[in-house]
Amino acid sequence: MGPLKDIKVIEMAGIGPAPFCGMILADMGAEVISVERITAAGRGSSADIASRGKKSIAVDIRKPEGQDIIKKLVESADVLIEGFRPGVMEKNNLGPDDLLNINPKLIFGRMTGWGQNGPLANAAGHDINYIALSGVLGAIGKKDAPPPPPLNLIGDFGGGGMLLALGVCAALNTVNKEGKGQVIDAAMTEGSALLMSMMYGMLNSGIWTDTRDSNLLDGAAHFYGCYECKDGKFVSIGSIEPQFYSLLREKMNIDEDIFDNQMDKNSWPALRENLETRFKEKTRDEWCQIMEGTDICFAPVLSMSEAINHEHNIERKSFFKLDNVTQPSPAPKFSYSKSEVSHPPVKVGTHTKEIMISLGLEEKFTELTTRQIISEG
């Protein structure tokens, strides 16, 4: 079992970062019970990867009896995570004051875009807005074009769900040592800013400019970026260190003097144009034959379908198939307490009766089902 074996997590179901956090905790062995809207009962798909390894109960938390079920769950829980707008849990009598009074050791994880307070706290938003405010989006892309959305990886997942999962693990340590629960206020604006710590440090030290497409790691340098090949596919290079840059030149038969001064920013645009021409002389696979596995710092740019079948990912078992759905494997890999996915995603409400019985509420199951306080899948 994983390193979070015997940890019980209540996840107030939503979309994006909070379920992703719950998935990480479930992958690591925690028992995660997803509390879903009663109107969603019976829905679900094996392709909903973020729901893997979780139990599911459908409850109407707007009703006092539904709130009582959540409070009963919290009595024996270690963690509760939610991704609602600020105030929603309080409105349903399930806020931190309500639940920590029941279980003082509870970790109450709150996942939002803007945070629990501040001028924008109650405004709607998505990943692209949160990383725009943190300075991340403005640092990505070409200077003569609008910043491109980098999927919703930086705010929702890296600076959101994964940050909350880290916070939960840290708070569990505090509970273990001091016996005290607490509230975690995880904001995607701050999580994405945290991911930019190195760039903010470089900006303050004068080795990074606040204009995108003009720095070492933002695509301006000819030796750090992606290039189109003869077949229309792409490769990536990151030959920053002098020895790696020297090997790049050797493998591409580059002997022009203009390439000698690697860090001369004034020459980067011309050198990039030069490399653009050279890379189009061969296909992506031909460049792989020349460069892959060397110290050039090289990799082909793969589609998701291609990534699944790359030999490195196959050997590492970076992907696996569950219920006929190919998906990323739990990560990171532990040498002792190995992470694993206990079961595929289930339909909403699948475990409602099981959980009600475990809470000693079996005699109320039929009544609450009839009154649509709870529902089975």
* Residue numbers annotated as active site: 126, 156
- What is the rounded distance in angstroms from the CA atom of residue 103 to the CA atom of residue 100? 5
Strand, helix or coil for residue 213: coil
Backbone angles phi, psi at 226, to 5 degrees: -115, 145
- What is the rounded distance in angstroms from the CA atom of residue 55 to the CA atom of residue 26? 10
The residue written with tokens 């289930």 in the block is 346
Task: Report yes or no: 296 and 244 within 8 Å, Cβ to Cβ.
Answer: yes
Cα–Cα nearest to 351, from 76, 81, 18, 32: 32
Strand, helix or coil for residue 282: coil
Residue 150 is encoded by which pair of tokens?
């980098």
DSSP, residue by residue, 241-300? SHHHHHHHHHHTT---GGGS-TT-GGGHHHHHHHHHHHHTTS-HHHHHHHHTTSTT-EEE
Cα–Cα nearest to 185, from 74, 284, 83, 50: 83
The residue written with tokens 């206020």 in the block is 185
Strand, helix or coil for residue 50: helix
Task: Report yes or no: 126 and 152 within 8 Å, Cβ to Cβ.
Answer: yes
Q: How many CB atoms lie within 10 A of CB 169?
A: 17
Query: CA angle at residue 206 from 202 to 209, to 5 degrees?
Result: 80
